[in-house]
Amino acid sequence: MGIDHMDLLKHIKNNRTKQRSKKPLRHDAFNRISSIVKQYGLKQSFLDLFHTVEDQPTIKKVNISRVRMKTPLEIPLFSLVGEEEYHLTMSIIDKVDNPYLIFAHSPEEILSCKLLYRLNPELSPETLMRYHFESLILHEHAKQNRIKQSGNEKNG
Amino acid sequence: MKQLFDSGIELVVESDFIYFPLLFDPDIKKEIQTVFYSRKDVGNPDASDSKAVIKLKGKYFVKGFRLDSLVNNYEAINPNSYQRLKNECLRHYHLTREIDGVLLDGTLRTILFQVMPHFIKKSKDLNRKTLSDEAILDLIGKKTNIPESYYQEARTFSDIAPLKKILKNIENQTPVLDLPGSGMMSGHKLRDWLRNAVHVKVLSDEYDRITKSLKMREQFSRMKPEHIATLLYIADTGFLEIDGFGFIRKNAYRNEYYVYKRSGDYILKDYYGRSYLFPNCRVTVSTYMPFRPFVMEKYKHPFLLKYKSGQEICIKNFNPPDEPTDKCIINTLEEGLTALQYGYDPRKRNGYHSLDKLWIHIPTIDFEDYII
């Protein structure tokens, strides 16, 4: 009975210590996307781009060999936006609906988000945080091309 | 606040309160939906909670502050903007300190109407006749190029009806602050309302001054508009110079002036009879202590200790007056001018320095460059 009581005490103490420890504040999708909407002054017409955006980067883009870095973005801890911007933010979140969205830094990356997730849904947060989505898409394409080529060579 | 009103966004005025567009995040959206769709609040529109957020033309607005509290505390909220609006209002009704000051300030009246006539040339003939205040203002108007805007202002200044009306409103305790009607309005419109409201508040706060100013203007309403224009010009610039005589306002708050008379070029002779041409300078006296003559610009002279600006002139047996009366100012200026132009005795080599070089090894001011 006494041992059970001690275990319970330890358990409660451990729980409290865990609760007390500081948890890093992570930016959620709303904070990030609403910041991009505000900073770039995006309008409702931005949603139309999701239909017209190309699934494949163009040849011109493929030729770019350099690695693109992220555009700097200032994100407030708690973002508040006007009604129109709120609806646009929520529509973007609904439309994209994938975990890579919280790593987007620009409208361009929001648009590339779906394609990147389709190409490789297992990219690490560190990679997503560091490299521009366009570079990652090019990298994924290159990887796929290499696999295809090696497959052809084996078959040939 | 300024940014908000200048941005031109739509704001709402409801029950004397200002409502701002509601900003959203997912939690607020959820809360708003609960407030507006739950039976409790829809059925009770007067509930304080429901009034915290209102919906107008499909948009949500959140309660801000009372408009009258904004006006009453605007001085603390935005001191710079309040000061700007206050100055604008006082200038509009010609209630600025300078204008009140110039018409009521005894020192300036003494300089203008008693000291100045002594130093300026009134006519080509030799007889010195005393001039009336009006004749002096005419003379200033003739010899000074007063911009046209001051004549226009003079006409507004002499119209005392608007001031009388404001004073009557304040005395009757009529509600001077009209709140804007309820409904949606642009930030620009509210900014204009705030401007007018602050003006009304400034005028209410300045009741004593308006009364005083009104009395004074009633006295001055009999004056010619050209004379009022001259006085307004002097009040505004704080500076006047005619025939080498002039004054500069030193401190508007204390109504201090530097009164000066130009010496013109003059010649002094040294021990050996050589002539030295001394350049023009302004012999000045301040209307605030000490009442001693000094040279305003950088200058050298046997009666000045160094070669720099603002030096007192060394005068033997000079007792500075106790107050800046017209006679004292005239006397001090004349003493200073006489000392510079006629006070140096080449035989005695009086003063701090000798004009001719003394071959004693004492560092002194050199006047060689003035020799003609």
Q: Show the DSSP H helices in chain B as ranges.
A: 2-6, 26-37, 39-42, 48-52, 67-72, 74-77, 79-92, 97-104, 106-110, 116-119, 133-143, 148-158, 161-171, 187-205, 207-220, 225-237, 326-342
Domain span including residue A139: 26-155
The reply to whether A19 falls in a domain is: no
Average pLDDT over residues B88-107: 68
- Which residues from B are below 8 Å from A30, CB to CB? 25-26
- Which residues from B are below 8 Å from A83, CB to CB? 21-22, 24, 59-60
- Mean of all residue pLDDT scores within chain B: 81
- Which residues from B are below 8 Å from A34, CB to CB? 25
- The share of chain A scoring above pLDDT 90, in percent, equals 31
Q: Number of folded domains in chain A?
A: 1
Q: Which of A31, A35, A86, A88 to mutate to test the interface with B (most CBs of B within 10 A)?
A: A86
Cα dihedral B39→B43→B44→B50 (10° resolution): 50
Number of Cβ pairs closer than 8 Å across A and B? 25
Please say if the pLDDT value at position B283 is more than 60: yes
Question: Residue A140: enclosing H or E segment and its boundaries?
Answer: helix A133-155
pTM attached to this predicted model: 0.52
Position B281 scores a pLDDT of 93
Q: Which chain B residues in 17-76 lie under 8 Å from chain A, judged by CB atoms?
A: 21-26, 28-29, 59-60
> What count of Cα atoms within 13 Å lies in the side-chain half-sphere of residue A129?
5
Residue whose pair of structure tokens reads 């005419």 in the numeric block: B138
Contact assignment for A80 to B21 by CB distance below 8 Å: no
A75 touches chain B (CB under 8 A): no
A86 touches chain B (CB under 8 A): yes
Question: How many whole angstroms separate alpha carbon B80 and alpha carbon A72?
Answer: 35
Contact assignment for B21 to A83 by CB distance below 8 Å: yes
Position B342 scores a pLDDT of 92
Most confident by average pLDDT, B12-21, B152-161, B261-270 = B261-270
Cross-strand partners of B63: B19
What is the sign, positive or negative, of the torsion defined by CA atoms of B367, B369, B370, B371?
positive
Q: Are B154 and B243 in contact (CB under 8 A)?
A: no
Position B53 scores a pLDDT of 85
Q: Are B339 and B313 in contact (CB under 8 A)?
A: yes
Q: What is the pLDDT along chain A (156 residues), one digit of tens a residue?
A: 455 777 888 888 888 888 877 766 666 889 999 999 999 999 989 988 887 765 555 444 445 556 777 888 888 888 899 989 999 999 999 999 889 999 999 999 999 998 999 999 999 999 998 889 989 999 998 888 888 888 777 766
Question: How many whole angstroms separate alpha carbon A94 and alpha carbon B308?
Answer: 78
A83 touches chain B (CB under 8 A): yes
- Is the ipTM higher than 0.95? The answer is no
Contact assignment for B21 to A34 by CB distance below 8 Å: no
At residue B41 the predicted structure's pLDDT band, cuts being 50, 70 and 90, is: very low
Partner-chain residue, chosen from B21, B25, B59, that has the shortest CB–CB distance to A78: B25
A82 touches chain B (CB under 8 A): yes
The string of pLDDT tens digits covering residues B130-140 is: 677 888 888 88
Chain B closest-CA separation from residue A38 CA (Å): 13
Position B140 scores a pLDDT of 86
B215 touches chain A (CB under 8 A): no
Contact assignment for A83 to B59 by CB distance below 8 Å: yes
Partner-chain residue, chosen from B23, B59, B60, that has the shortest CB–CB distance to A80: B23
The reply to whether A20 falls in a domain is: no
Q: In this structure, what token pair is assigned to residue A96?
A: 């994209």
- Which residues from B are below 8 Å from A85, CB to CB? 24
Cα dihedral B247→B248→B250→B252 (10° resolution): 100
**How far is Cα of residue B263 from the mean position of the Cα atoms in its chain?**
29
The reply to whether A16 falls in a domain is: no
- Which residues from B are below 8 Å from A81, CB to CB? 23-25
Question: How many whole angstroms separate alpha carbon B43 and alpha carbon B66?
Answer: 26
Check residue A135 and give left, alpha or beta (phi > 0: left; psi -120 to 50: alpha): alpha
The reply to whether A128 falls in a domain is: yes
